[in-house]
Structure 1
Amino acid sequence: MNQFSVLLQKEWRENIRNYKVFWIPVVFILFGIIEPVTQYFLPQILESAGNVPEEVVAGFPVPAPEEILISVMGQYQFMGLLILILAYMGSVSGERKSGTATLLYVRPLSYPAYFISKWVMAGAVALVSIWLGFFASYYYIWLLFDAVDMGQTVQFTATYSLWILLIVSIILAASAALPGPGLTAAAVLVLIFIAQIIDGLLGAYWNVSPLKLPAYAGSWLIEAPDLSDFWWSAGITAVLIALLVAFGVWLSHRNAAKTKV
């Protein structure tokens, strides 16, 4: 536990030094604010374009507050995940490639403490960013449109948070497995892209899957999801996260010899 505490402090200082604890939440907050503001001023934007018929602008539907919050999640599904991948793709492989991990590996090192400290810090930054982003969006939706039920918003955000923890686990496990940050980013992007395509094409044939979590998150705002399917999906996701963390610990130990000296 003492070694874990020391390594966690190291990760905290590193995240402060490279400003991840500042710029990642700021980016998520900005995306959370931009969507409701854009939706609110969209008729004026279309009107100022000059080539849109007036009847189209006048009849432009006002989106429901819940729909705007789901649209924010759509932004996070692309730009948010990309930001997390770019921020943490070198968490393990970057240290091996640069040789900085040598300073750790020459000492008696607990690899579970080493990997889990990285996972805890990356997960904490990601979750704080998600919650701040959604609640910044919630505030502007309330200001410009109408209030979204707070209980539903918390359920929505908590469900999506589990999905984000899965993504963070995939990023760090890939970083432990692969030789460089660039390859890690490419592998994670391809994996997520293929998984989402498969779910989009064939997802109607199954209701229990970690890939369903974003959809279940959105359903809390419209109507509650089927709780049996939801809890099975959440449970499978939690088990998958635990397996990825264990896999990352094993790979960190196995690939320690590949560290550049």
Structure 2
Amino acid sequence: MKQWLTLLQKEILEMWRNFKWIWVPITFILLGVQKPLSDYYMPQILDSIGGLPKGAVIKIPTPSAAEVLIQSLGEYTSLGVLIIVLTTMGLIAAERKSGVAAMILVKPVSYKSFVTAKWAGSLLLMWFSFFIGYLVTWYYTGLLFDWIQIGDFFQSFFFYGLWLTVILSIAVFFSASLLTPGVAGFISLAVVIVLSIISSSLSKWLEWSPALLTDYANKMIMSGEISEYLLPASLVAVACIILLLISSIFIFRKKELAA
């Protein structure tokens, strides 16, 4: 356990040196607040642009607080996913390519500790950034529109975060499987996009898909209803995370021993 904590501290310190603990949370905040701010100030923005015929009036229906919050969360499942993959794709692949991984593993460091410590460090960064960003989004939505119940905030935060954890685990898996970070990132994004499209298109048959966790969380925000498939989808997500971690360790160990 002491060895694992040392490796985790190394990952956290390295992310500080790379300023990830600064720019990733800031990016998540910017992703989240742009929607409530743009929706609220849209009439003023249109007026400042000008170019409309004299006397023309544009009536923009005011969205509900739930709609604004859901649209803001959509930014985390699009651009936010890209940020997660970009910050994770070289987690193991880059160190394998540079030889740093081989140097660390020469010491009495287990493959399991090496992979899981890197995964846990990225997980802490992702959950912290998402929480800060989503909290600021929730605050501005309440300030400018209406307040969403704090219970709905935390529940939606957890289930969105669970799906983002699956995405992060996919990126770690391909980072452990491939030597080139760019290829690992591209394949990770492709897998996430295909999984999301298939789950949305075949939602009647894939109710337990982790990719539908965001839909169930949105439904909770809009109507307060909890889908009967929310718990099964969450359990499948946890199972996928565990399976991806085990597979990452196995493949990484196999490739390092073969090198």
Q: What TM-score range do you get, normalising by the shorter chain?
A: over 0.9
- Measured in 2, the distance between the counterparts of 1:34 and 1:228 equals 32
Change (3 A) 1:214 1:83: same
Whole-Å Cα distance in 1 between the matches of residues 123 and 47 of structure 2?
A: 43
SS at match of 1:205: coil
Q: CA deviation at 1:249?
A: 1.1
Report if aligned partners of 2:199, 2:209 keep a CA contact under 8 Å in 1.
no
Q: Deviations over 1:92-134 (max 9, x none)?
A: 0100111111221222221111111111111111011111111
- Aligned Cα RMSD in Å? 1.6
User: Does the 8 Å contact 1:3/1:110 carry over to 2?
Assistant: no
For the 8 Å contact 1:105–1:256, the answer to whether it is kept is: no
Corresponding letter in the other structure for 2:109: L
Q: Aligned partners of 1:97 and 1:258: how far apart in 2?
A: 14
**Percent identical residues:** 33
**TM-score for the superposition, normalised by structure 2:** 0.94
Work out the CA distance in 1 between the residues paired with 2:231 and 2:52. 46
Any conservation in 1 of the 2:68–2:141 contact (CA below 8 Å)? yes
Question: What's the offset of the Cα at 1:46?
Answer: 2.2
Question: Greater shift after overlay, 215-224 or 163-172?
Answer: 215-224
Query: Which position in structure 1 is the counterpart of 2:76?
Result: 76
- CA distance change for structure 1 residues 225 and 167 in 2, over 3 Å: closer, same or farther? farther
Alignment CA distance shift 1:132-1:98 (3 Å): same
Q: Which has the higher contact order (CA 8 A, sep 6+)?
A: 1
Distance 1:46 1:204 in 2: 41
1:113-192 correspondence runs (5 A): 113-192=113-192
Which residue number in structure 1 is paired with residue 256 of structure 2? 256
CA–CA separation in structure 2 for the residues paired with 1:55 and 1:203: 43
1:217 aligns with 2:195: no
Contact between 1:96 and 1:258, CA under 8 Å: does it hold in 2?
no
Query: How do 1:83-98 and structure 2 match up within 5 A?
Result: 83-98=83-98
Q: In 1, are the aligned partners of 2:33 and 2:137 still within 8 Å (CA)?
A: yes
Aligned to 2:39: 39
Q: Structure 1 residues 44, 131: closer, same or farther in 2, change over 3 A?
A: same
- The residue aligned with 1:111 is 111
- Alpha-carbon separation, structure 2, partners of 1:249 and 1:56: 61
CA distance in 2, matches of 1:87, 1:166: 15
**SS of residue in 2 equivalent to 1:101:** helix
C-alpha separation between the residues in 1 aligned to 2:113 and 2:224?
38
The one-letter amino acid of 2:85's match is I
TM-score by length of 1: 0.93
Cα deviation, residue 52, structure 1: 4.8
Shift of 1:257: 4.2
CA distance in 2, matches of 1:52, 1:73: 32
Q: CA deviation at 1:50?
A: 2.7
Consecutive unaligned residues of structure 2, counting only runs of 5 or more, are none
Q: How many residue pairs were aligned?
A: 258
Q: Report if the CA contact (8 A) 1:32-1:133 is conserved.
A: yes
Q: Distance in 1 between matches of 2:75 and 2:21?
A: 20
Amino acid in the other structure paired with 1:125: L
Give the CA deviation at 1:206.
3.2
SS at the partner of 1:206?
coil
What is the aligned partner in structure 1 of residue 232 from structure 2? 232
Shift of the 121–56 alpha-carbon distance from structure 1 to 2, 3 Å rule, reads farther
